[in-house]
Amino acid sequence: MNAKRALGVVGVLIALMLALTGCVKLNMSVKVNNEKSVDYEVVYAIQKSVLGEKSFDEFMESNGSGSQQMDIPDGATVVDYEDEKYKGKRITAANLDPAKLAESSSSESPFELKKEGDFYVISMGGVTGAESGDASSSAMAKSMFDEASVKFTFPGKVVEATGATVDGNTATFDMLSVNESVVQAKAEANAGIPMWTIWILVTVLVVAAALILLFVLLRKRAARQAPALAGATPYDQPGYAPQQGQAGYAPQQQQAYDPQQPYAPQQPPYSPQPPYSPQPPVQQPGQTHDDGQLPPPPSAPPASGA
């Protein structure tokens, strides 16, 4: 269904439904997927205080028409609509061809979606029936509505929408305050980088910067410790325990002097003495034995040639 066509039904009944002044709500929404696909929704409703005990269909039929006469695009779904103040119909269609939406319009300026380079452009006639050149007829048509709006949502940012309230990639027209007979909006065809992607990139950069800073600090710390360790022998390094048989093994190390300890000279390594073995006394010439006898003199060696 096209909102303009739906309001055409109401336009025929204006003379019969003067009591509806300020009692009709029409909200239209078009979301552009691409130049060949849109999601479409229209809510068309009348105040419950005007309907009384009648349903929306019964009220329309009792006034010479019915909601079934409103044009509905192929593939659209029609359901009853009701809120605290209104009753009516909701018409929705997903992935609708824009050409079908244009075909269902009786407006002199039907819905049109086209792509111009890197931009989408939407244009359409006013949905309140106020596009007539007759100022009095336009005013009467608008007077029937309590609220009437048209919202266009694009993949990218809206760059032009005269008379609309723009919020990022959405342009909303208040049709009761728009003076133009045709509304138009232009927006970028590309969505750009989503905000969640930007936040992820920022987080990754922060973490990477922190890791780089930590790496640099560790390198500087290691560079400061290297000169102090370069001149030290292995025995001076903490935790070093040389093993016997290694080059440079020192079984004993000098202890550092502690003024609080009494001086104790180091003793040479203990070397045990061989066991004592008594030797017989050596007799000197002229000495006598205890028995008073002298020992015989030693015999002379034999003469040479004897």
Express each pLDDT in 78-131 by its tens digit.
999 999 999 999 999 999 999 988 887 766 778 899 999 999 999 988 666 655
Write down how long the chain is. 306
Indicate if the alpha-carbon torsion angle 223, 224, 227, 233 is positive or negative.
negative
User: Which of these ranges, 34-38, 44-48, 245-249, 274-278, has the smallest mean pLDDT?
Assistant: 245-249
Q: Is 284 helix (H, G, I), strand (E, B) or coil?
A: coil
286 pLDDT tier (thresholds 50, 70, 90): low
Question: What totals of helices (H) and strands (E) does the chain contain, helices first?
Answer: 6, 11
Q: What pTM was computed for the model?
A: 0.58
- Asked if residues 196 and 161 have their Cβ atoms less than 8 Å apart, the reply is no
Could you identify the residue written with the tokens 């509505």? 145
Buried b (16+ CB within 10 A) or exposed e, 253-267: eeeeeeeeeeeeeee
255 vs 12, more confident? 255
33 pLDDT tier (thresholds 50, 70, 90): very high
Q: Is 42 helix (H, G, I), strand (E, B) or coil?
A: strand
Q: What is the pLDDT of residue 12?
A: 44
Q: What is the pLDDT of residue 59?
A: 84
- The residue among 72, 118, 130, 62 whose CA lies nearest residue 96 is 72
Give dist(CA 27, CA 30) in Å, integer.
10
Give dist(CA 85, CA 10) in Å, integer.
19
11 pLDDT tier (thresholds 50, 70, 90): very low
Find which of 65-69, 170-174, 176-180 is predicted with most confidence, using mean pLDDT: 170-174
The strand ranges marked E within 163-283 are: 164-167, 170-174, 182-188
User: Which of these ranges, 11-20, 152-161, 203-212, 293-302, has the smallest mean pLDDT?
Assistant: 11-20
Q: Where are the domains of the chain?
A: 3-188, 195-223
- Is it the case that residue 265 has pLDDT exceeding 70? no
Mean pLDDT score across all residues of the chain? 75
Express each pLDDT in 140-177 by its tens digit.
777 888 889 999 999 999 999 999 999 999 999 998 88
Give dist(CA 54, CA 111) in Å, integer.
33
Q: How far is CA 256 from CA 1, 231, 249, in A?
A: 102, 20, 19
